Amino acid sequence: MNEIKLIIADDHELFRNGLVELLKKHDDIKIVKSIADGFELMNVIKQEFEADIVLLDLTMPEMDGFEVLKELKSLDVKIKPIVISMHSAGNYIAKCAKMGAYGYLLKNTDESELILAIRTVHKGKKYFSSEISEKMINFMSAQSVSENVLSKKETEVLGLISKGLTTKEIAAKLFVSSRTIETHRTNILKKFEVKNTAELIKKATEINLI
Amino acid sequence: MNEIKLIIADDHELFRNGLVELLKKHDDIKIVKSIADGFELMNVIKQEFEADIVLLDLTMPEMDGFEVLKELKSLDVKIKPIVISMHSAGNYIAKCAKMGAYGYLLKNTDESELILAIRTVHKGKKYFSSEISEKMINFMSAQSVSENVLSKKETEVLGLISKGLTTKEIAAKLFVSSRTIETHRTNILKKFEVKNTAELIKKATEINLI
DNA sequence: AACACCATCCGTATAAATACGGATAGAAAT
DNA sequence: ATTTCTATCCGTATTTATACGGATGGTGTT
């Protein structure tokens, strides 16, 4: 039969469950697994599991979506990843496309688009909505060069900055030297092309990174 | 006749026009004026104009909604103001209620609620949705005491901070001493109950102040 | 093997922000 | 008439953030 076997990987339980409920109504789609982290996901995939598509969140605790994409590419599996993220920043989209994602959806998308994306990808085609494509293209043409995507540590540091922690406090919390955090801050500012914390936080929230 | 005479005061033309279109469909409501600033609004009101209700935006260039409320209260007119704002912060709502607003709506409200609010207020009753009331009550009970609403200057400074300007640059731009801006910053931090700029910007964006 | 990126650390220096504690004139509120 | 708030300014001191420039081991890519 032509049933589409789907895995959901997202660390937000409510969101996962919402998706499950929503997809239940569609007979051609069957959720075979619902998983909270990339690490667990890869374990499942590597062992025995057969699935057609994985709906992949980018931000997960142990192993994030980028890492999953990378590993999926190296493995020789036929599972097609559709990224489903709250980030609409062009650089994220571009990076995912480059890393082999078959689709990119925003978390605030609607049901019909989700279904459309799943079916399109299942047919072997890629699905990037016009909105998403546009953002990616804008990003590419903005010559912003390669990947000013924040590293995992940088993302973590950014989150702590936005909570009002100082460099010293962050260093203590992460058990590293203040120098390290200073460097992270510097690099984050560079990647965002801003000159101070205030502008950084504003841009980060605009982009929904925080 | 029971026609409700309405004035719209909002500096966003698109929004104003949208409202007009939307309200056209309701025969009991007549838009008698559409205005972009509080100053102009008060001129119109003071001269001759008769109206029942004014839909009042809080953020307008020359004279903002708070000032309008204040002046309306002092004048002896029967125009009832309904505030329509994008800010859902409890302190804003509370301040408006205190200053004599008959209603408070968020800009993302829907048509039915808007109409309901207008008709309710026209009958002489106040209209605060349960969502709005709740936020106000939470704010009141949060002992946050009086009005940590930013003054006009503070709001302006906050906006410039979020654009990445430093204290010195802001001072130069506003033709005042750096000391003044430093004090503004201090006061803004106090009012938001945060300890540094990063946290401030985050909170301000959450609250939609920027 | 060579290259690129990441996370980690270090030094020196300046600029900016925050923490104190004041002051004053004017407007507004009660 | 008194108080409260706002916008403006000042001093002193400390803490943070930013700007330079540089280094290393690990990991992953090509």
How confident is chain A (210 residues) per 10-residue block, as mean pLDDT? 86 74 87 88 83 87 80 82 80 77 82 90 86 68 51 87 91 91 90 88 72
CA distance A79 to A71: 12
CA distance A187 to B87: 34
Q: Are B56 and B74 a contacting pair, CB within 8 Å?
A: no
Where helices occur in B57-196 by DSSP H, the ranges are 65-74, 90-98, 111-122, 130-141, 152-162, 167-174, 178-192
Of B195, B197, B205, the CB nearest to A205: B205
Nucleotide nearest to B197 (CA to C1'): C17
CA distance A174 to A53: 36
Work out if B133's Cβ lies within 7 angstroms of strand C. no
Query: Does the pLDDT of residue B50 top 90, yes or no?
Result: no
Residue recorded with tokens 């459309």: A116
Q: Tell me which residue of B163, B155, B159, B164 sits closest to B187, measured CA to CA.
A: B155
Report pLDDT for A210. 56
Q: What is the pLDDT of chain B when averaged over all its residues?
A: 81
CA distance A130 to A138: 12
Q: Tell me which residue of A31, A55, A59, A35 sits closest to A47, measured CA to CA.
A: A35
Report pLDDT for A77. 82
Distance B92 CA to C26 C1' (A): 25
Instruction: Check CB contact under 8 Å for A164 and B210.
Output: no
**pLDDT confidence bin for B14, thresholds 50/70/90:** low
Predicted TM-score (pTM) of the model is: 0.56
Q: Tell me which residue of A128, A73, A124 sits closest to A103, measured CA to CA.
A: A128
DSSP secondary structure letter of residue A26: -
**pLDDT confidence bin for B146, thresholds 50/70/90:** very low
State the best of B169, B193, B196, B209 to mutate against chain A, taking most chain A CBs within 10 Å: B196
Q: Tell me which residue of B147, B156, B158 sits closest to B186, measured CA to CA.
A: B158
Q: Are B82 and B53 a contacting pair, CB within 8 Å?
A: yes
Average pLDDT (B189-194) is 84
Cα torsion angle, A192, A196, A200, A203, sign: negative
Comparing B80 with A135, the larger pLDDT belongs to B80
Q: How many CB pairs (< 8 A) connect A and B?
A: 50
Q: Are B101 and B127 a contacting pair, CB within 8 Å?
A: no
Instruction: Check CB contact under 8 Å for A164 and B199.
Output: yes
Give residue numbers, 111 to 130 of B, with CB < 7 Å from strand C: none
Give B59: exposed, middle or buried? Use CB within 10 Å, 0-12, 13-18, 19+: middle
Distant-in-sequence, close-in-space partners of A73: CB < 8 Å, separation ≥ 6? A99, A100
Distance A126 CA to C10 C1' (A): 48
Work out if B162's Cβ lies within 7 angstroms of strand D. no
Instruction: Check CB contact under 8 Å for A201 and B196.
Output: no
Half-sphere exposure of A122 (CA within 13 A, CB side): 19
Work out if B194's Cβ lies within 7 angstroms of strand C. no
